[in-house]
Homo-oligomer: A and B are copies of this chain.
Amino acid sequence: MREYDCWFQKQDGEPCVKGGLPERILLAGGGEIFNNAVAEYSELLLRKWGVKTVKLNGFTGERCVVIGVLDEIRSKNLNFSLPASLPPEGFLIRSGDDGLLICGADERGALYGVYRFLALLASGAFSENFETTDSPRSKYRIINHWDEASGFIERGYAGRSLFFKDGEIKYDAARIKDYARLLASTGINIISINNVNVRGEAKRFITEEYLPGVAALSAIFRPFGVRLMLSINFAAPCVIGPLATADPLDEKVAAWWAERARVVYSCIPDLAGFLVKADSEGEPGPFQYGRTHADGANMLAAALKPYGGELIWRCFVYNNSQDWRNWKIDRARAACDVFLPLDGAFSDNVLLQIKYGPLDFQVLEPVTPLLGALKKTRRLIEFQITQEYTGQQIDLCFLPYMWEKVMNFDAAYAETGFKIKELAANGGFEGIEGFAAVANTGLDKNWTGHTLAQANLYGYGRIAWKPDLKALDIAEEWSRLTFGVKQPKTAETVSQILMRSYPAYEKYNAPFGICFMVTPSTHYGPNIEGYEYSKWGTYHRADLHAIGVDRTVRGSGYAALYAPKNAAVFSDPSLCPKEFLLFFHRLPYGRLLANGETLLQNIYDSHFEGVEEAQKMMEDWEALKEAVDGCVYESVLEKFKLQIKNAREWRDQINTYFFRKTGISDAKGRLIYP
């Protein structure tokens, strides 16, 4: 494999399609995205199999592939049985006696159909008399870049920004096109290009000075069905000027934003909208003016409304000047406390973007109750593809494993119960309309720092498209596309390594959902008390007897924010899922868990196991030495070596920390450093 090509590798084998690759294309459609779908088909057939394509002017009776949109195909009266309709952005792929058909519901559907068809071919999943229809369950499949105008990427572990350099919009257009392909091929349809912490020159991206650059970038993404979005600074009317206030209820402020929106949309008519982080970790927001977040969001939404733009408002709002002495405040409650009372108060082009967990992309966090408890508010679920707390693209950590769990969480907010994946497939006021996730990509040759972390980018797009996809299916899909099918053992091994990576990381990380035992500010590696006396609301409060935060009604009451069934489960330590035990409860080290061992012994065990499992992953990788491209093999091996060092550090610091706290040795006699 070539690390740059991700899941578009040159194929060394025969494509599994009877009669050979469909070189002749009959078109039934038009428009920028449709034309690009056809161009992509041609380019990828050439690149992957070295086959040149020919466009037919009309049906000649020869074997060909028909690429089109449903209405156009129908109007051509070809010899295909066609469905009455297809869902938006959906497609039908069919290979049968009547020929080969890639039929989109619309232009995007055709593009997605082309990618799916090629993926099926490449992964050996296509066959004669094959038919599949598919469509995205959610309308919004968004990727958020935390890129800064300087080129630095906040929480980026794959080099500098693809878009920016030294305060300017500067990029390699060919590479951006390749990036647009990667995103579109997994179904992503919106990209916010700049960090939600809008600093430096990025504050002026919505001005005439930068808009031509943004527009030029959007022109590269547009044929791939990917619309741009901009993160804006709530204080822009003051920062850019000339206003002295950003008060959302001030008419001058509303007028300022209306004029800004007019200018922005005159340059980029299909801009998806604005993304806002307000009143969070030092960012400005409506609280400064004594206004609610609905006041702030609705004012901005009104400015975007005439142009069809959406206002996406993040719910990552909490007190970040907390006093560790105060056991009453609980950061986990914050988003609910701020946003639940506002349910129904947001305009119809506002979407709340809600992190899947109540804290901050931790390794083990329960799904936030806010996702299910809001009923009259449009919302998105937010993931983080970049591995801030999950190994920083040094440690392997296949995130779809965890995302699948989030999708299977039963929000239970209605009598019947709904899993997040069902909410996400539902849309509208009763559901979650889509997904957003922080990108893990940058200028590194392999895009993602760790080559195997490409699977997280791929997996995010796939989950956003189809929330009930299994992590294992994603791992297998990605591994086959990336490592080929000629030596099936390779993809199989890689896929198994991926599936074991998240549980291994969990095992050597902070135990039982306790969170934030990481090195302050870098967030890589252990620092058990690093956030213990901080202002960030990130405490485990371990003493010689017990550890954990009581979030039941006897404590902060966070657990009671869940629907009754979940609240009951989380509130009872004997029912609470083990991985969230210390998230919800303060427990003595000697408490016996379901496996008959004490809490402490479980901590020791999981940390010894975590290192062993990291070592096993590396060994399995080493067995692929002959099967994998040398550069990729070595770079991944190098990462595994660093991961094992990190895992050892976690194991030893965690075990020593608890040994020093309790004086209790490992029951199995393994070495714990004193």
Binding site for B on A (CB under 8 A): 324-325, 327, 520, 526-530, 533, 541-545, 649, 652-653, 656, 659-663, 673-674
Contact = CB atoms under 8 A, between A and B. Distances in A.
Contacts of A544: 544, 660-663
A473 to B, nearest CB: 40
A649 B535 CA distance: 11
Q: Which 3 A-B pairs have the closest CB atoms?
A: A543-B660, A325-B673, A529-B529
Contacts of A656: 325, 533
Given A325-B652, A661-B661, A533 B543 contact: no
A519 to B, nearest CB: 9
B663 A545 contact: yes
- Copies of this chain: 2
A259 to B, nearest CB: 39
Contact of A542 (B543, B653, B660, B662): B660
Best-surrounded residue of A327, A533, A652 (most CB of chain B within 10 A): A533
Given A325-B673, A527-B529, 11 more contacts: A325-B652, A325-B656, A529-B529, A530-B530, A533-B653, A541-B660, A543-B660, A544-B544, A544-B662, A544-B663, A545-B663
A660 B662 CA distance: 11
Nearest to A543: B660
B526 A533 contact: yes
Contacts of A652: 325
A541 B659 CA distance: 11
Contacts of A527: 529-530, 533
B325 A543 contact: no
A541 B673 CA distance: 11
Nearest to A662: B544
A210 B662 CA distance: 60
Contacts of A653: 533
23 contacts: A324-B673, A325-B652, A325-B673, A520-B520, A526-B533, A527-B529, A527-B533, A528-B529, A529-B530, A533-B653, A541-B660, A541-B674, A542-B660, A543-B659, A543-B660, A543-B661, A543-B663, A543-B674, A544-B544, A544-B660, A544-B661, A545-B663, A661-B661
A327 B529 CA distance: 21
A200 to B, nearest CB: 19
A380 to B, nearest CB: 37
A8 to B, nearest CB: 42
A28 to B, nearest CB: 63
